[in-house]
């Protein structure tokens, strides 16, 4: 619940900037709010995936210590707004996110911005693989789940780099759910039971990949990733940091062990959680909390007295 308070605060503070076209202002408001609340949490946290590295924000940078210094030693991944452009444009699926694991268990992939990923539910284990053509993966998953390919939906970021991938998905007979931003929700929905998304694929942010891996520890889903340096200089930095850019990473490579927590609060409405809503004198938030060790997923709906947030 201490982590939920931090994502709730970030989401609430971002609300005045929804649809206003200024993603940096929305991001700063969320960063400032999250940092204050993280400072009250009973843990000794070190940020492995930080907002400062990702968006050149002034706070929550890689290596920063957060928490009050008591309690367990933890690795932290933060994204005060996963989907700053979505927030600025007033579109769906913007989230405020925190992921936590035991100290030394979260892969520091900060030297490489992008990661190629594939995410499915538990049926994907031993069935799909990042190196297989997407058509083969879809046919294999269809056979494993008993779901016709024509009824399957694949989430993928709508980027020019994915034009060939999108064409191949459709050629195989599946539909696409094109995401304009924020692929954490896409990956989680691919692994969750009972959603319309069967698979999430493509190149997105490596920070988002590690964050998604923390959630999948609780969902029991399948995920693989491979770092995708954008040029030779970034590849050299990755190698210097001890990263294997050619290795197909599984969940334990990204986050070792099951002592993980994933917390997300909706900024705008989406398929994972509802966004922040003002209802008369209260502000209502919806959050999702996942714990890897117990495999539990909880939803937290909270009403906040608006007068306390003025």
Instruction: Give pLDDT, residue 139.
Output: 98
Task: List alpha helices for the chain, DSSP H.
Answer: 2-14, 23-38, 51-55, 84-89, 134-145, 163-171, 183-191, 206-219, 232-240, 251-254
Confidence of residue 51 (pLDDT cuts 50, 70, 90): low
**Pick from 204, 222, 195, 193: nearest CA to 119:** 222
Rg (CA), the chain: 19
Q: Which of 213, 224, 222, 203 is nearest to 131 (CA)?
A: 224
- From the list 37, 74, 23, the residue with the least C-alpha distance to 265 is 37
- Binding site listing for Mn(2+): 27, 51, 79, 82, 208
Q: Give binding residues as ranges.
A: 27, 51, 79, 82-84, 114, 159-161, 181-183, 205, 208
Mean pLDDT of the chain: 93
Q: Could you report the per-residue pLDDT of 142-190, keeping only the tens digit for each?
A: 999 999 999 999 999 999 999 999 999 999 999 999 998 878 999 999 9
pLDDT score recorded for residue 54: 47
Q: What integer pLDDT is reported at residue 180 of this predicted model?
A: 87
What pLDDT, on the 0 to 100 scale, is given for residue 52? 52
Question: Once rounded to an integer, what is the mean pLDDT over residues 229-238?
Answer: 94
Packing angle, helices 2-14 and 23-38, rounded to 10? 160
What does the pLDDT read at residue 64?
87
Query: pTM to 2 decimals?
Result: 0.92
Q: What is the pLDDT of residues 10-48, one digit of tens each?
A: 999 999 999 999 999 999 999 999 999 999 999 999 999
pLDDT in tens, 61-78: 888 889 998 889 999 999
Question: Residues 247-282: pLDDT tens digits?
Answer: 999 999 999 989 999 999 999 999 899 999 999 999
How confident is the model over 100-144, as pLDDT tens digits? 999 999 999 888 999 999 999 999 999 999 999 999 999 999 999
Q: How far apart are CA 175 and CA 172, in angstroms?
A: 9
Q: What distances in angstroms separate CA 173 from CA 133, 151, 217, 229, one per listed residue? A: 14, 8, 30, 31
d(CA 222, CA 72): 28
What is the pLDDT at residue 238? 94
Average pLDDT over residues 226-232: 95
For 296, residues 6+ apart whose C-beta sits below 8 A from its C-beta are: 218, 290
The binding site for substrate consists of 82-84, 114, 159-161, 181-183, 205
Give the DSSP H/E element, type plus range, for residue 74: strand 73-82
Residue 56: is its pLDDT beyond 70?
Answer: no
pLDDT at 121: 97
Q: How remote is the C-alpha of 85 from its chain's centroid?
A: 15
How many other C-beta atoms lie within 10 A of the C-beta of residue 276?
A: 23
pLDDT surpasses 70 at 5: yes
Q: How confident is the model at residue 203 (pLDDT cuts 50, 70, 90)?
A: very high
């Amino acid at each position: 619940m201490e982590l939920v308070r931090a994502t709730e605060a970030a989401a609430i503070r971002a609300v005045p900037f929804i649809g206003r076209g200024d993603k940096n202002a929305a991001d700063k408001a969320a960063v400032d709010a999250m940092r204050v609340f993280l400072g009250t949490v009973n843990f000794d946290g070190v940020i492995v995936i930080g907002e400062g590295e990702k968006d050149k924000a002034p706070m929550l940078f890689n290596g920063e210590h957060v928490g009050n210094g008591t309690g367990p030693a933890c690795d932290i991944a933060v994204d005060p707004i996963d989907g700053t452009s979505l927030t600025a444009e007033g579109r769906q699926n913007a989230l405020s996110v925190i992921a936590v694991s035991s100290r030394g268990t979260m892969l520091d992939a900060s030297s490489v911005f992008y990661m190629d990923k594939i995410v499915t539910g538990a049926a994907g284990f031993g069935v799909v693989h990042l190196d297989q053509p997407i058509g083969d993966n879809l046919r294999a998953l269809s056979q494993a789940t008993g779901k016709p390919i024509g009824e399957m939906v694949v989430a993928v970021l709508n980027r020019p780099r994915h034009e060939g991938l999108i064409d191949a998905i459709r050629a195989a007979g599946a539909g696409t759910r094109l995401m304009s931003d924020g692929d954490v929700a896409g990956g989680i929905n691919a692994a969750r039971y009972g959603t319309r998304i069967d698979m999430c694929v493509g190149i997105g942010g490596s920070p988002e990949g590690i964050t998604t891996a923390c959630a999948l520890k609780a969902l029991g889903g399948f995920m693989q990733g491979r770092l995708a340096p954008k040029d030779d200089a970034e590849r050299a930095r990755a190698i210097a940091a001890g990263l294997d850019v050619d290795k197909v990473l599984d969940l334990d490579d990204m986050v070792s062990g099951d002592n993980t927590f994933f917390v997300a609060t909706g900024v705008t409405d989406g398929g994972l959680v509802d966004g922040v809503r003002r209802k008369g004198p209260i502000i209502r938030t919806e959050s999702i909390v996942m714990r890897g060790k117990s495999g539990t997923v909880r939803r937290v709906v909270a009403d906040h007295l608006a007068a306390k947030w003025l």
